[in-house]
Amino acid sequence: MKAFTAIVKLTFRNALRSHIFQLLLFVLLLCIVFIPNAITGDGTAHGYIRISLKYSVAAVAFILSLSAVWLGCYTMSRDIESYQLHMIISKPVSRVTIWLSKWFSICLIHLLLLAVASTVVYFAVVWQFYRQPFTPEEKEKIENEVMVGRRVFMPEFPDVQAEAQKRLREKITQLQAQGKNIDTSAAAQEKMLKELHKQVIMERSEILPGKQHIWQYQGLPSNHKEPLYLRYRIYVNKVSSEAQRITRGLWVIGVPRLINEESKNVFEQKKAKGWELFYTPYTQQPQQIMCGVFHEFSLPPAIISPDGTAFISFVNLDSLGGAIFAQPLDGPKLLIKKTGFAGNYFRAVCVIFMQIAILAGLGCAAASIFSMPMAVFMVVSYLLFGSFAKFMVGTTYFGSAADYVGYYVGKLLLLIIIPIQDFEVTGFVASGELIELAVIGKLLLIYFVYRALPLFLLGIWLYRRREMGLVIRK
């Protein structure tokens, strides 16, 4: 344990001597001081707090992640190339202890920096919130939509894959009945299935003029007494941020009412035997809605039925007769308060620290066998491969064989590579959406235990087998 502590202290001193690390600390200081005070937002109090919070937390996460990669590669390779490690391993200290102590010290350094930076950002945002001359309505909106942790409930969506496969079988049967030639290759079948999958999603998302679409939500707390919030974004004519305009529509909510069972005599009380749903307009007049941007409004808790379900409908009353599209990722989402702003913010900090610990371990693992420039290159390449793989898997257009190759290569890469964008949680904090503990546990299990830990063990094994006598300083 003495050796472990001594190496941790030595790593602290070496880190502070690194000019790149000092530069990153200076940039971090500028970010946490100037970003919350320099951002003006979109002109609204709500947008000001959201953008200030999002940019500040994102800047802290980026700089500390970059610092973790650099410091992991720097400390491991510097001790080898400067022959300091040669003296350490001559003593009764295992290389496993050396590797773990260096990784632990880097994580500890960045944990302290993250704690200080996140605390400063938190109080800076809170101070800006109370310092600005916001109206009571604006403050209430910010407290309900940003400075809070709200659990997200998405509407039930049909099994798109099953529907697409059903349509594919029907299309093949129809073409065979017409005597047409059918390409039965796996690539052609996959392409047709992808097109039908996209078609089903488009049909489920489209609301024709004068028609309505009903969304059903399940798993809601039936005893909830506080207001709910509906967050949505719709598009008119096409799903694109360009050429969007104001449309008209009417929100309709389903209110459950208990059905009482008639008593058999005057001495018995009425008993509830179930409930029925009554749809009622949320507003007296249709609303004007700007398409392509998010909107949010409150709903009464009375829409939740005794079995924890809720029904919400939207009627397309566009004055120009345009079709309205509501994408599945945009909801509409039902948001219910679960925790305060501090609790949700702390969860975001935990996710950021997990990201930093993984990057520090990757840097140490790469520097266990490579020189410092090569180690930095390997880690950066690893992260870029993860980002590219995530992009390739998300494609929906397959025009040639290269598209299929890229798609399946991306699927294969995601089995072994960590897409760092999955740790992006600043959007959740800025939108007041709760970062679920299940999500944090999933990130810990899949990315830290299943992906990062084997690479750490590989780095330790290579570090143990590395021949230090072959290291020659030029």
> Which pLDDT score is estimated for 397?
56
Give the tens place of pLDDT for each residue, 355-396: 999 999 999 999 888 888 888 899 988 888 888 777 777 665
On whether both 264 and 179 belong to a single domain, the answer is: yes
154 in any annotated domain: no
For 174-190, the DSSP string reads HHHHTT-----SHHHHH
On whether both 331 and 273 belong to a single domain, the answer is: yes
On whether both 118 and 176 belong to a single domain, the answer is: no
155 in any annotated domain: no
H helices of 218-340, where? none
Percent of the chain with pLDDT strictly greater than 90: 19
Question: With 50 as the cut, is the pLDDT of residue 43 above it?
Answer: yes
On whether both 87 and 186 belong to a single domain, the answer is: no
On whether both 266 and 354 belong to a single domain, the answer is: no
Mean pLDDT along residues 184-195? 70
222 in any annotated domain: yes
Per-residue pLDDT band for 185 (boundaries 50, 70, 90) equals low
> Which pLDDT score is estimated for 10?
74
> Which pLDDT score is estimated for 449?
92
377 in any annotated domain: yes
135 in any annotated domain: yes
In three-state secondary structure terms, 251 is: strand
Task: Print the domain residue range for 452.
Answer: 2-148+340-389+398-411+418-470
Per-residue pLDDT band for 217 (boundaries 50, 70, 90) equals very high
Q: Residue 260 pairs with which residues in a beta bridge?
A: 272
On whether both 174 and 323 belong to a single domain, the answer is: yes
On whether both 348 and 317 belong to a single domain, the answer is: no
On whether both 131 and 218 belong to a single domain, the answer is: no
308 in any annotated domain: yes
Give the tens place of pLDDT for each residue, 226-248: 889 999 999 998 888 788 899 99
The pTM for the full model equals 0.81
Mean pLDDT along residues 34-44? 64
Higher pLDDT, 379 or 87: 379
CA atoms of 420 and 112, how far apart (whole Å): 22
Domain termination residue (choose one: 339, 360, 376): 339
Give the tens place of pLDDT for each residue, 253-275: 988 887 765 555 544 444 555 77
Domain termination residue (choose one: 339, 354, 376): 339
On whether both 127 and 257 belong to a single domain, the answer is: no
- Which of the 8 DSSP states describes residue 231? E
On whether both 334 and 351 belong to a single domain, the answer is: no
Helix (H) or strand (E) holding 344, with range, is: helix 341-367
Question: With 90 as the cut, is the pLDDT of residue 353 above it?
Answer: yes
Residue 240 contacts residue 342 (beta carbons within 8 Å): no
Per-residue pLDDT band for 441 (boundaries 50, 70, 90) equals very high
How many domains is the chain partitioned into structurally?
2
153 in any annotated domain: no
> Which pLDDT score is estimated for 405?
72
Distances (CA, A) of 1 to 6, 106, 368: 9, 17, 22
On whether both 218 and 325 belong to a single domain, the answer is: yes
On whether both 287 and 266 belong to a single domain, the answer is: yes
